[in-house]
Amino acid sequence: MSATPAGIEVRALARRFGEREAVAGLDFEVHPGELFGLVGPDGAGKTTTLRMLAGVLRPSAGDALVAGSSIAREPERVKQRIAYMSQRFGLYADLTVAENLAFYADLYRVPARERAARLDRLYAFSRLGPFRDRLAGALSGGMKQKLGLSCALVHTPSVLLLDEPTFGVDPVSRRDLWRIVHEMVAEGVTAVVSTAYLDEAERFDRLALLDHGRVIALDTPDGLIRRLEGELLEVRLPGARAAAAVASGLPGVRRAADFGDRWHLSVDSAARRRDEIVTALAARGYPGAQATAVAPGLEDVFLEHLDRPELAPPTAAASSSAADGGEPASPPPADRAAVEVHELSRRFGDFVAVDAVSFSVSAGEVFGFLGPNGAGKTTTIKMLIGLVAPSAGDGRVAGLDIVAGRDEIRLRVGYMSQQFSLYADLTVDENIVFFGGLYGVPRARLAERRAWVLRMAGLEDAAGRRTGELALGWKQRLALGCAVLHEPSILFLDEPTSGVDPISRRRFWQLIYQLAGGGTTVFVTTHYLEEAESCGRLALMNRGRLIALDSPAGLKRSLREPLLELRVDDPLRALALLDGLPGVARSGLFGRALHVAVEDREAALVDLPARLGAGGVTVTGARAIPPSLEDVFVARVAESGGALEG
């Protein structure tokens, strides 16, 4: 092998863990200065591959040259040439931001004469400067990720390896992280990044799609999209999820996939099938559908290659009007609120984490709780389930006061935290038994509930397997099962799908709808705004305050400025040119396209391509589009003072 010094060459790379083959003979190259992606379902081998490339895990067979050094023969030399950020970057919670950076500067032996300038630059592009004296443990999730990336970049790497760098990060902070990565690549650094966000993957120069430790496709994003068979129809019919099952059985439809407030139907001919599908849906009781031919994205590619029916967990709803994929039961009248909150507040010293929040959630409702990292979402949930006492205000959950009745509330609700709360060293079965005892499930009932959880999670053949060995999607379903062992009337889910692949996310939401269809109230936080479309109503928080509360459709209607989608040859340069331009309210990168909020739609469609062209950016497409929830999120957070950095 003879790789260019700043590139990567992988040949027959393999890794076994006992009898399990995690990576099975990978072959690919990463060009110098390339932004290269690793994408695949949970357990595909992405993290194992990155750990081997970083020199922290020895291969079982094969080799790779990373910046000219062999990972098999000289892993320590590899470590000197790279920056590696794992999913759980090793920050020290009891050290400040400055102390963490200083520690890694010492670890990488950054010369004293270079250190001050290097740190100043890191503070500037990570926006960590105002927080250098804050403890890392007191930072929000997004700021922790930016600190982790800054620690990795404290020396000058030839190769940057990032494993899910935006894991658990809100849309605003995701933009900051990607800006940093693009700046490093622009300076000549070679970057290999894994991600569960397929809109992020559209920004890669090339990407490898992994499954079962093998490369099943490798190309540019456009190249992979061009390989898709058939054509794509986008169908919008709000509030009728069951219609997707109807559409998937119609002539000419190969596959139906849920994309929040719309579905994508893979068809043999969009022009031929569009009117047929709309007519057939109306005849089956779903009038008003709108079907439009659209260009596919990488998520469509992912689903085409990897959405195998045999991997889906079987339907396991106890009683469900949603067992067939339909909507949850309609919420009962407001006088049967499952959750009621009035002027609820929580202070930690001088810091106001939750500031006079009021709302109610109806029984049987799927209620979404959104906001940037540090907005106060998790603190609110912890007050509602009795883990944190409020500083002011009051609330009721399942009819019980959140202070006086907190012990009983814990037995009536289910709670799935951001970290799932599973015990990695226990088997699947042992975790189920443990949580059954914790929730006081009677022994006679536990056997039945255990069987239900294993069936629901698709783990009937893995009951004796250590939980820590499971892929993330399987852990997720097991954690959900443990949270509802005692059949709670209210379920709190705190970012349950962070870092999970698109197929696992969809299947998880199928389970949510099954539970809601059986009458369970579901209170969920998420940073995947596409899945937030599946909620009946959404509350948006920022800086501890409730800044919006409405249905997904209502929130999108509230966006004042018209929105344009621009496709350009140099997105980062285009964003810099758009910043502060007259008539432009906001702009941001969405996949490979720019979303631009403008004052005058018609004028901007003419003016912006000309202005960008004068600045050296070619506009290849411009059109008016309806807003997404991410557009609403970014706009409302900006209007309310921006995300709380820290």
DSSP secondary structure code for residue 352 in this structure: E
The candidate with the shortest Cα–Cα distance to 502, out of 300, 310, 367, 317, is 300
- Please, what CATH class does the domain formed by 8-221 belong to? alpha beta
| Per-residue pLDDT tens over the stretch 555-569 | 999 998 999 999 999
* Residue 598 in tokens: 């403008």
β-bridge mates for residue 267, sequence order = 231, 253
Least confident of 240-249, 311-320, 522-531: 311-320
3-state secondary structure 182-210: HHHHHCCCEEEEECCCHHHHCCCCEEEEE
The segment(s) of the chain belonging to CATH 3.40.50.300 are 8-221, 334-553
pLDDT at 643 over 70: no
Instruction: Please give the average per-residue pLDDT across 46-62, as a whole number.
Output: 94
Residue 543 near residue 355, CB atoms below 8 Å: yes
Cα distance between residue 562 and residue 515, in whole Å: 38
Q: Which fold has domain 334-553?
A: Rossmann fold (3.40.50)
Q: What is the pLDDT of residues 308-329, one digit of tens each?
A: 554 444 444 433 333 333 333 3
pLDDT band of 386, cuts 50, 70, 90: very high
Instruction: Please choose, from the candidates 384, 327, 331, the residue with its C-alpha nearest in 3D space to the C-alpha of residue 524.
Output: 384
Q: What is the pLDDT of residues 195-213, one digit of tens each?
A: 988 888 999 999 999 999 9
User: pTM for the whole thing?
Assistant: 0.83
Return d(Cα 29, Cα 192) in angstroms, integer. Answer: 11
Token output for 319: 């009683």
pLDDT digit string, tens, across residues 442-468: 988 999 999 999 988 888 888 999 998
Which residues, 6 or more positions from 197, have their beta carbon under 8 angstroms from its beta carbon? 166, 174
Please tell me the CATH code under which domain 560-626 is placed. Answer: 3.30.70.100
How many residues are given for the chain? 646
- The Cα–Cα gap between 641 and 517 comes to 38
Q: What is the mean pLDDT of residues 2-14?
A: 79
Positions of CATH 3.30.70.100 in the chain:
229-295, 560-626
Distance from C-alpha of 57 to C-alpha of 337, rounded to nearest angstrom: 52
Fold type of domain 229-295: Alpha-Beta Plaits (3.30.70)
As given in the structure block, the two tokens for residue 636 are 């409302």
Strand order in the sheet with 619-624: 584-590, 593-598, 563-568, 619-624
Residue reference for tokens 């409730």: 546
CA gap 33, 5 in Å, rounded: 11
